[in-house]
Amino acid sequence: MTTLLLIEQVLNGLQAGIMLFLMAAGLTLIFGVMGLINLAHGSLYMIGAFAAAGVAGATGSFVLALMASLGAAAAAGAIVEVTVIRRLYDRDHLDQVLATFALILIFSEGTRWLFGSFPLYLDVPAAFAGPVTLPGGIQYPAYRLLIIVVGLAVAAGLFLLIARTKIGIQIRAGESDREMIGALGVDISRLYTIVFALGAALAGLAGALVGAIQSVQVGMGEPVLILAFVVIVIGGIGSIKGALVGALLVGLTDTLGGVLLPLAFGLFLDPSTATSIGSALASMAIYILMAVVLIYRPTGLYGATT
């Protein structure tokens, strides 16, 4: 394997990690602040993608489509929080899992009812359609670079929001002591709705960005949701920094594992055996990574050490 190919694969890993981060950031915020396991986070991702595909189909504008995805997912998140999720904060995690699993089914069938059973069309904007040539002669899809840039911008925005703003202070306070900030006069139910809508909007944005290069279809959120949970367990629940580092680790491990493991086994096995063992091991790689992290840091890389 040439160095150029390796660099390209590292870029691919980073980009996969950034996409995961957009999903995981909302999930970890919601889990960290409200202690809620939200399985329906993948549905919000799907709603973002469908809203974007619908608006892009009607107007032809990708910018409007992205705004629609943010709006639709945030609105869906806020509505769900007020009607369903709010009743779950005091219940145990099993009840939360059951209720949010029901939400997945409702959202999936609702979307199918609205948009039909066939995958929707959503394409990358024309300006980012082709590849660009990076220094060193690597050809890389422009749209994937755009995803990396947007993801890093969102990460920076989130850090500023959490570290520098009043709402960020409230979120951090809410993570460490829920009762106390309620006693200090912060309207906790409003704060929860805002955090939930923010997390939902991030998932919706991820769905729209990723939907342009993947398949916009019912059930598209669930495979990503599993990876996002792996990310927040590795990164430490509630930590945005952990979500970023965890997402990049998972993205790189998944991408490079899939490429390098079959090659590594190919050094001492015949090609077809090497491919099958390598591919099988590659699909386990991120879970092995998670297990190793949990052995040494049971609360995740940046989790609170309680």
Partner 1 sequence: MRIKNMVAMAACLAALGTTAVAGGHGGKVKVGMITTLSGGGAGLGIDVRDGFLLATRGNDMIETVIEDDQRKPDIAVGLADKLIQSEKVDVLTGIIWSNLAMAVVPAATAQGKFYLSPNAGPSALAGRGCNPKYFNVSWQNDAFSEAAGAYLSNEGVGKVFLMAPNYPAGQDMMAGFKRFFKGEVTEEVYTQLGQTDYAAEIAQIRASDADQVYFFLPGGMGISFMKQYAGSGVDKPVAGPAFSFDQGILGAIGEAALGVKNTAHWSKDLDVPGNAEFVAAFQAEYGRLPSLYAAQGYDTGLLLNSAAAKADVKDAEAFRAALKEADFQSVRGDFAFADNQHPIQTIYMREVVKEGDIVTNKVIGVAAIEHTDVYGADCKM
The nearest distance, CB 141 to partner 1, in angstroms, is 4
- Residues 208-237: x where in contact with partner 1 by CB under 8 A, - otherwise, as a string: --x-xxxxxxxxx--xx-------------
Contact call for residues 111 and 47 (beta carbons, < 8 A): yes
Q: Binder to partner 1 among 61, 165, 176, 276 (CB under 8 A)?
A: 276
Contact call for residues 42 and 112 (beta carbons, < 8 A): no
Q: How far apart are CA 210 and CA 39, in angstroms?
A: 19
Which letter does DSSP use for residue 301 in this model? T
- If the CB atoms of residues 31 and 50 are measured against partner 1, the closer one turns out to be 50
Footprint (CB under 8 A) of partner 1, residues 279-298: 279-280, 282-283
The answer for residues whose C-beta is within 8 angstroms of residue 68's C-beta and 6 or more apart is: 51, 52, 54, 55, 208
Q: How far apart are CA 70 and CA 63, in angstroms?
A: 11
Q: How far apart are CA 50 and CA 191, in angstroms?
A: 27
- If the CB atoms of residues 108 and 170 are measured against partner 1, the closer one turns out to be 108
How many chain residues touch partner 1 (CB under 8 A)? 52
Contact call for residues 195 and 33 (beta carbons, < 8 A): yes
Beta bridge partners of 133: 139
- Residues 106-145: x where in contact with partner 1 by CB under 8 A, - otherwise, as a string: --xx--x----xxxxx-xx----xxx-------x-xxxx-
Q: How far apart are CA 2 and CA 29, in angstroms?
A: 40
- If the CB atoms of residues 34 and 66 are measured against partner 1, the closer one turns out to be 66
Footprint (CB under 8 A) of partner 1, residues 164-203: none
Which residues are at the interface with partner 1 (CB under 8 A)? 1-2, 5, 8-9, 12-13, 15-16, 19, 108-109, 112, 117-121, 123-124, 129-131, 139, 141-144, 210, 212-220, 223-224, 255, 258-259, 262, 271-272, 275-276, 279-280, 282-283
